[in-house]
């Protein structure tokens, strides 16, 4: 049976690795695999190819891009294994997820890349330790080959910019891949969250420095830098708590005593995972889009930061366009970054643009295009010539959805105050950071890069 399946499978893999960084990254990245597996009807705890129709959908949609085949099981089933790297200084978070899902993360230790423990909430220390403990001691390049022996075509990096590890690890990871690893051809998409000050357990000054350094690295090295705010994720998650309770999450199956660190983020991470899943849908085989096309879309873009608008926020309804319109009218939609207060227009930038990843059954009709053109014109004043439509075929029983990636100048308004806070904080932190390898000049340059880019 599995021979028949593999014969129909695409032969040339275009491997895309999700490299999850730090606590938030690991939670969101692991949830994103679960989300796409559930979308195609696979068992998210132990996905296999059994030749059943539903299981075949996994291959039809993703080929072996984001998953690879494990060693065949006795029953003639072939396990599907996420091309996942869970990277953290602190081994606890990734360890718990790996131990709880031994059949999903079937390559065991190969999925996990740890430092020597003790997260510092300090970007400079995080970067130095990444270089010493991950690039050198653990030989990062060989760790990547362990997950993908075939040349990697893309990386997706979920992380929070607020702590020390996620922000610094992903910054250095991107630089390393683009400059040193001969992987400059691989497309990098980052999914970075901004903490909610006054709620999340972050250290105000240090966190702002981490945000600025990590934004500057995304401007330089990320081909598709996608931003989300914890405050928006939290707000939407609470509005949609009932519906999200009905979605299964990786958190639900962790042993009760270790759910503590994850429970608060369960619903928020489901929404972030949904955005990553929709993004991954854009480069499946049936679209005319390749992940590297995002690089071209954003290369000329200034701003380059992108924010995701999910319609619906929580999947619901049928596979046709009607259900998207219905979800909009019922309020089941949301932008995961607060740039456009409800009912208000935002200030349009001259080069604002949007990429609409539209998952429906059948082809896009002229009326559907008109619908989105109006939607984007009304709210963002983006002219229709700056819209890109990517059509993803919805499967039987799969709710229609649209993920609109917005590249809008208004993002700058939210980010520039964070840069000002970082500059304020720098004076009292600079000795500490300089000792750990971040020079005054490099920080100031990062400030200039971000303000220059967004200003
Ligand atoms: N959305 C989301 N935010 C999280 C999650 N875990 C932590 N955060 C927030 O992210 C920020 C800190 O990032 P973490 O990911 O915990 O930190 P880290 O990258 O492991 O870095 P360290 O500070 O060195 O531990 C804080 O604002 C947390 O509230 C998560 O699972 N999801
Ligand atoms: Mg941590």
Region of poorest pLDDT, from 56-65, 135-144, 389-398: 56-65
Give ∠ CA 107-110-116 in degrees, rounded to 5: 145
Confidence of residue 257 (pLDDT cuts 50, 70, 90): confident
CB-ligand 1 contact for 162 (6 Å cutoff): yes
Mutation probe of ligand 1 site: the residue of 163, 165, 168, 273 with most atoms within 8 A of C-beta? 163
Distance, in Å, from the CA atom of 82 to the CA atom of 270, rounded to the nearest integer, reads 18
Confidence of residue 56 (pLDDT cuts 50, 70, 90): low
Distance, in Å, from the CA atom of 23 to the CA atom of 137, rounded to the nearest integer, reads 22
CB-ligand 1 contact for 87 (6 Å cutoff): no
Region of poorest pLDDT, from 127-141, 250-264, 346-360: 250-264
Residue 419 scores a pLDDT above 60 = yes
Average pLDDT across the chain, whole number: 89
pLDDT of the residue at 2: 40
Residue 211 scores a pLDDT above 60 = yes
Residue 360 scores a pLDDT above 80 = yes
Torsional sign, CA 274, 279, 283, 286: positive
Residue 184 scores a pLDDT above 80 = no
Domain spans of the chain, in order of start: 12-299, 308-409, 412-454
Q: Do domains 12-299 and 308-409 have the same CATH topology?
A: no
From the CA atom positions of the chain, what is the Rg in Å?
Answer: 21
**Which among 204, 187, 414, 390 has a CA at the least distance from the CA of 305?**
414
**What are the DSSP calls for 381-441, one per residue?**
---GGGEEEEEEEPPTTPPPEEEEEEE-THHHHHHHHHHHHHHHHHHHHHHHHHHTT--HH
User: Given 3.30.1330, 3.40.50, 2.60.40, 1.10.3470, which CATH number is that of 308-409?
Assistant: 3.30.1330
Ligand 1, residue 233: give the atom nearest the CA.
1
Expressed in angstroms and rounded, the spacing between residue 350 Cα and the centre of ligand 1 is: 34
- Which residues place a Cβ less than 5 A from the ion ligand 2? 23, 90, 119, 165
Span 219-247, pLDDT tens digits: 999 999 999 999 999 999 999 999 999 99
Nearest CA to ligand 1 atom 31: 24
CB-ligand 1 contact for 119 (6 Å cutoff): yes
Estimate to the nearest angstrom the gap between the alpha carbon of 104 and the chain centroid: 19
Expressed in angstroms and rounded, the spacing between residue 118 Cα and the centre of ligand 1 is: 14
Confidence of residue 51 (pLDDT cuts 50, 70, 90): low
Structure pTM? 0.95
Span 69-107, pLDDT tens digits: 888 777 778 888 999 999 999 888 888 888 888 889 989
Q: Indicate the length of the chain as a whole number.
A: 455
CB-ligand 1 contact for 202 (6 Å cutoff): yes
Distance, in Å, from the CA atom of 271 to the CA atom of 284, rounded to the nearest integer, reads 21
Distance, in Å, from the CA atom of 159 to the CA atom of 211, rounded to the nearest integer, reads 11
Distance, in Å, from the CA atom of 84 to the CA atom of 33, rounded to the nearest integer, reads 9
Q: What is the mean pLDDT of residues 397-419?
A: 94
CB-ligand 1 contact for 166 (6 Å cutoff): yes
**What are the DSSP calls for 230-251, one per residue?**
HHHHHHHHHHTHHHHHTS--GG
Residue 131 scores a pLDDT above 60 = yes
Span 39-49, pLDDT tens digits: 888 888 888 87
Question: Cα-flanking dihedrals φ and ψ of residue 69, to 5°?
Answer: -90, 135
Residue 271 scores a pLDDT above 80 = yes
Expressed in angstroms and rounded, the spacing between residue 409 Cα and the centre of ligand 1 is: 27
Distance, in Å, from the CA atom of 438 to the CA atom of 397, rounded to the nearest integer, reads 52
Element of type H or E holding 105: none
Span 308-322, pLDDT tens digits: 999 999 999 999 999
Residue 10 scores a pLDDT above 50 = no
Mutual orientation of helices 366-380 and 321-329 as an angle, nearest 10°?
30
Q: What percent of the chain has pLDDT over 90?
A: 66
Nearest CA to ligand 1 atom 3: 24
Q: Which residue has the tokens 């999700």?
A: 18
Please, are residues 13 and 150 in contact by the beta-carbon 8 Å criterion?
yes
**Which among 5, 116, 145, 122 has a CA at the least distance from the CA of 63?**
5
Residue 3 scores a pLDDT above 50 = no
Nearest CA to ligand 1 atom 12: 163
Question: Could you tell me the two tokens for 438?
Answer: 């971040």
What homologous superfamily does CATH list for 12-299? Answer: Tubulin/FtsZ, GTPase domain (3.40.50.1440)
Distance, in Å, from the CA atom of 299 to the CA atom of 263, rounded to the nearest integer, reads 38
Expressed in angstroms and rounded, the spacing between residue 94 Cα and the centre of ligand 1 is: 13
Mutation probe of ligand 1 site: the residue of 31, 89, 162 with most atoms within 8 A of C-beta? 162
């Amino acid at each position: 049976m599995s021979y028949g399946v593999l014969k129909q499978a695409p032969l040339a893999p275009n491997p895309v690795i999700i490299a999850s960084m730090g606590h938030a990254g690991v939670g969101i990245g692991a949830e994103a695999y679960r989300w796409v597996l559930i979308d195609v009807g696979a068992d998210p705890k132990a996905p296999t190819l059994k030749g059943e129709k539903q299981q075949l959908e996994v291959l039809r949609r993703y080929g072996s891009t984001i998953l690879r085949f494990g060693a065949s099981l006795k029953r003639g089933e072939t396990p599907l294994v996420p091309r996942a790297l869970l990277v953290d200084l602190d081994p606890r978070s990734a360890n718990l997820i790996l131990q709880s899902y031994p059949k999903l993360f079937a390559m065991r230790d190969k999925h996990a890349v740890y430092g020597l423990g003790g997260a510092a909430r300090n970007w400079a220390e995080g970067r130095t330790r990444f270089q010493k403990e991950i690039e050198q001691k653990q030989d990062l390049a060989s760790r990547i080959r362990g997950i993908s022996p075939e040349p990697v075509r893309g990386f997706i990096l979920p992380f929070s910019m607020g702590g020390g590890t996620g922000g610094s690890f992903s910054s250095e990871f991107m630089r390393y891949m683009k400059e040193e690893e001969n992987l400059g051809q691989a497309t990098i998409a980052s999914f970075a969250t901004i903490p909610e000050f006054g709620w999340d357990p972050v250290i105000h000054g240090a966190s702002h420095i981490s945000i600025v350094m990590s934004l500057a690295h995304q401007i330089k090295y990320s081909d598709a830098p996608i931003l989300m705010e914890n405050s928006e994720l939290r707000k939407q998650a609470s509005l949609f708590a009932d519906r999200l309770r009905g979605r299964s999450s990786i958190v639900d199956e962790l042993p009760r005593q270790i759910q503590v660190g994850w429970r608060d983020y369960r619903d928020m991470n489901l929404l972030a995972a949904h955005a990553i899943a929709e993004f991954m849908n854009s480069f499946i085989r049936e679209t005319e889009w390749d992940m590297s096309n995002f690089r071209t879309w954003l290369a000329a873009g200034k701003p380059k930061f992108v924010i995701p608008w999910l319609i619906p926020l929580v999947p619901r309804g049928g596979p046709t366009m009607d259900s998207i319109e219905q979800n909009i009218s019922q309020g089941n939609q949301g932008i995961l970054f607060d740039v456009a207060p409800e009912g208000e227009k935002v200030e349009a930038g001259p080069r604002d643009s949007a990429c609409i990843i539209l998952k429906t059954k059948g082809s896009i009709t002229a009326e559907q295009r008109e619908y989105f053109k109006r939607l984007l014109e009304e709210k963002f004043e983006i002219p229709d010539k700056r819209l890109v439509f990517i059509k993803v075929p919805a499967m039987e029983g799969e709710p229609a959805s649209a993920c609109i990636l917005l590249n809008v100048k208004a993002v700058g308004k939210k980010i520039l105050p964070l840069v000002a806070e970082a500059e304020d904080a720098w004076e009292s932190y600079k000795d500490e950071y300089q000792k750990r390898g971040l020079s005054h000049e490099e920080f100031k340059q990062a400030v200039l890069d971000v303000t220059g880019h967004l200003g």
